Amino acid sequence: MAIRPSPKNPKYRPYRILAYAVYIVVVTLFSVNVIVNVVRSVMVMNPGKQPASEVTLTVRECLDGAEKLWRELDGQRQGLASHVPARNVDQDWSQFRASWMNEFRDIESRCALNSRDREALKRVYERLDHIQDLYTTHAVQFAGEIGGAIDRYRAAVQAVKGELGEGRSM
């Protein structure tokens, strides 16, 4: 069996090395950019627990804060179907969630939830956080599965209204 010579011309070796180097640099920069943006996004969407505040709220104030957060969260969830376009509801939910989570962590840090006499209050905040996780999943699924159908329905209604000579009211 004879050894075949390499089909690569040696005079083009510097250009091949340059092409490989450029390729590696571009892929590395792209990968680093993706990793940095994903990490940044995750950190914004999931703010960590804040250290306990020096000023501790009363149990009533903490409960009122949880109920306020609940009303905001549930109100946002109830508005999913009225969002236009409905298929983009997950983007608005993400923005809402980021600000809501910051407020949640702020109130949580001022409630001394790790105190033994506040176990019931701690459960309230744990359950509220869990509901927020479920609502976030719901918003993403809503946008992907139902949002397009709602948008197509609205477009069909507008088409009929256009035939009737009515203006856009949705």
- Residue-wise pLDDT tens digits, 41-73: 777 667 667 666 677 889 999 999 999 999 999
Does residue 79 lie in a domain region?
A: yes
Cβ-contact 59, 117 below 8 angstroms: no
Q: Is 118 a member of any domain?
A: yes
107 and 49 Cβ atoms separated by less than 8 Å: no
Closest CA to 93 of 45, 43, 149, 152: 45
Domain that holds residue 98: 52-164
Q: What is the number of structural domains in the chain?
A: 1
Is 23 within the bounds of a domain? Answer: no
**Can you give the pLDDT at residue 48?**
65
Percent of the chain with pLDDT over 90: 52
Domain presence at residue 21? no
Residue 28, domain member (yes or no): no
Name the pTM for this structure: 0.67
Q: Residue 7 has what pLDDT?
A: 73
Q: Would 39 be classed as within a structural domain? A: no
* DSSP at 146: I
Is the residue at 67 inside a domain? Answer: yes
Neighbours of 25 (CB within 10 A): 10
- Residue 11 inside a domain? The answer is no
166 pLDDT band, cuts 50/70/90, is confident
